Chain A
Amino acid sequence: MSDTTSQRTEAFVRTDMLPEQAPPATQTGIIKWGRENLFSGVANSALTVFAFIAIYFILMSSMPWILNGVWNASSIRECRELLEGATGGCFAVLTERWNQLLFGFKYPNDEYWRPTLAFALLFIAVAPVMFYKYLPSKMLLFTGLYPFIAFWLIWGGPVLAPIFGLLGFVAGYLVWSRFVANSFAVGFFGAIAAALVTWWVGGIITNSVSAGDTLLSAVPSRDMGGFMLNLILGTVCVSLSLPLGIALALGRQSDMPIIKWICVVFIEFVRGVPLITLLFVANVVLAYFLPPGTTFDLILRVIIMITMFSSAYIAEVIRGALAALPRGQYEAADSLGLDYPQAMRLIILPQALKISIPGIVNVAVGLFKDTVLVSVISMFDLLGMIRGPILASTEWNGVYWELFGFASLLFFVVCYGISQYSQWLERELATDHR
């Protein structure tokens, strides 16, 4: 037996491992991926083929139009001549009317750098809020200053106005921090009074001084237009509606019946009507409710209305977050002996705001998109510029796709960017272990 076994051992015995064989061609690389992801089953294959056909047609119809586009012409007729009958977009309208699309047609040409600079600074101002974990909190100081800088840059006029605006807040804050320890009410109302007094005094001083030279020439709000107007409306209204929304949400959760019902009625009313009717109010009705003889800028009236609109939506988001906090958090705050403002400021709101950020960003994106509605009430925002002065002009009558495509692209870039940020933030904030 042993012989036979030994003889058999003489036969070839492999001492090292066989190298792994390459998997069959159908199980590797792109083929495997394709089989698993594109052609797994009849229905799936049909879908894939259908999708390929759809993509083919979309590309075939749009690519020549984009690639063959004319970027340099003075009118649609010149475009057509240059194209000589071939398919191609007339993108020259974008280059020729670039400034109008971005700034409207009345903002002084020499001052374009001002809104551009304000726009660039916006990123620096917003960064410490958006990436608060990664940036020094000292940068928040700039965020606080930014509204005044941006206001001065865009609107121009006497530099004293924004300075006093800022001083009012500083005064209010000082009074608040001095008295809040004693009594919340004294601090709160004292701060408001201090701010109002500062602004009142500031208004008088500004009016008496400002007649003279101004560093930056004043630009009336009516001259704002183009995409700049959308951006201004979007940022201003979102920032303003945040504190209002928080107040409304707290009011709605409050156990004081009158305050609760005021908030409920306001929120449900605003959420129940379309934004366009509120804009009609701003446009044609609000004037009747102001003291005789006073008129607000249309842009200011619109800001008020859009802010009201978005604050109601933000309030609902925050209310959801407040309701989602475990009851224990409220009770824990009470058991520490914190009073209502302290409990809210230190315990409840930081948590509630954190979980409501994605919702708030959604509202913000929706609001930014809704700013194009102002074109319906004869304001020349991006869409208003396109539908009004540009498409009506003899030179560019009929250039639809290039203009609408450009508008869509601008909005897409901004909104998609914000929603990607929101998703990133959601992952950042996910502190629970899943």
Chain B
Amino acid sequence: MKKSVIFGALTVAGMAAAAGVASAGTLDDVKARGKLNCGVTTGLVGFAAPDANGNWDGFDVGVCRAVAAAVLGDPTAVEFVPTTGKTRFTALASGEIDMLARNTTWTFSRDVDLKFEFVGVNYYDGQGFMVPKDLGVSSAKDLDGATVCIQTGTTTELNLADFFRSNNISYEPVPIETNAEAQQQYLAGACDVYTTDASGLAATRAAFEDPAGHVLLPEIVSKEPLGPLVRHGDNEWGDVVRWTLNALITAEELGVTSANVSELAASAGDNPEVNRLLGTEGNLGEMLGLDADWAVKALAGGNYGEIFEKNIGENTPVGLARGLNAQWTEGGLLYSPPFR
């Protein structure tokens, strides 16, 4: 009898733990739950990594927090779900997470075949190579016969095969599940080269004891537009995430920062677009099914530029320049559609 008692406990646990049956849409679910389930990496410094106390921090985390703030008014109302390259898509498809912000490359097949909706690009990236300086390699074309560490389940794996095949040089792939293990293998010399998104390489190198002993090769072998994604077919929710991201980008373009956002939102100013963004004019928030001041809450954690500088900018250990990720007004690719 006693054993079946435990079974009952589990059933209760199941009742307590299982989320309720989904209602109309993800937006309502999130509001009802009071928490946003956001899929992130298992740990990549600068993009999403838990600190010693288990608090998540990073560039992708910033996007999650902005969405949570816009929808729920509380940037901490996020449940971060660590996912690997293997589990991320199933987690999203099955509804375990509401959105995925895990430096995921926007590709045709993921969008069309796997039925996801990329809501935009939060980082324009490309696949690069990192080698120890004392190897004396200056170009990826010199890597003939090298052992290359790759994270499996990512587009980098396929790009790598294509790059070496088209240049007709041989290599030895070492497939690895997580960035943490790749870093250990690379440092131990079990592979000569580590390849992943250039931003990821910079972030990984930042965590090294001797970052100067390693160089990033000049070749960028692929386009990797990284962005948050949601399930296909739930357009209301997709809009919320898309426009929260756009709000972060537009805010930077318009000079709205975490420091002046409350001041600007207090009353309608003379810039109509800022007014529309911050809800002092028009009813954009209502159209999204959110409060009028949704963008104000989202921006409390900073606009795109602030999040970038705080987590991966040049003054952080990761030390990435804005480059392609500057505003279009400054020669970059960031170009948010207008708030109108």
Contact = CB atoms under 8 A, between A and B. Distances in A.
Contacts of B54: 105-106
A59 B200 CA distance: 43
B16 interface: yes
A295 B180 CA distance: 29
A169 B5 contact: yes
Interface string B8-37: 111111111111111000000000000000
Interface string A388-402: 110111100110000
A159 to B, nearest CB: 12
Interface residues of B, number: 52
B272 interface: no
A147 B84 CA distance: 33
A149 B207 CA distance: 43
Nearest to B29: A293
A13 to B, nearest CB: 78
Interface string A265-302: 00000000000000000011101101111111111100
A164 B17 contact: no
Interface in A223-264: 236, 239-240, 242-243
A69 interface: no
Contacts of B86: 283-284
B18 A294 contact: yes
Interface string B79-108: 101111011001001111000000000000
B42 interface: yes
B192 to A, nearest CB: 19
B207 A300 contact: no
B2 interface: yes
B184 interface: yes
Contact of A243 (B3, B16, B50): B3
Contacts of A290: 94
Given A165-B12, A300-B14, 6 more contacts: A166-B5, A166-B8, A203-B15, A283-B90, A295-B18, A378-B87
19 contacts: A77-B209, A109-B53, A143-B2, A147-B8, A162-B9, A169-B4, A220-B79, A283-B86, A287-B95, A290-B94, A299-B17, A300-B18, A378-B82, A388-B42, A392-B183, A392-B207, A397-B183, A398-B184, A398-B187
Interface of A: 77, 100, 105-106, 109, 129, 140, 143-144, 147-148, 151, 155, 157, 161-162, 164-166, 168-169, 173, 195, 199, 203, 220-222, 236, 239-240, 242-243, 283-285, 287-288, 290-300, 303, 376-378, 380, 387-389, 391-394, 397-398
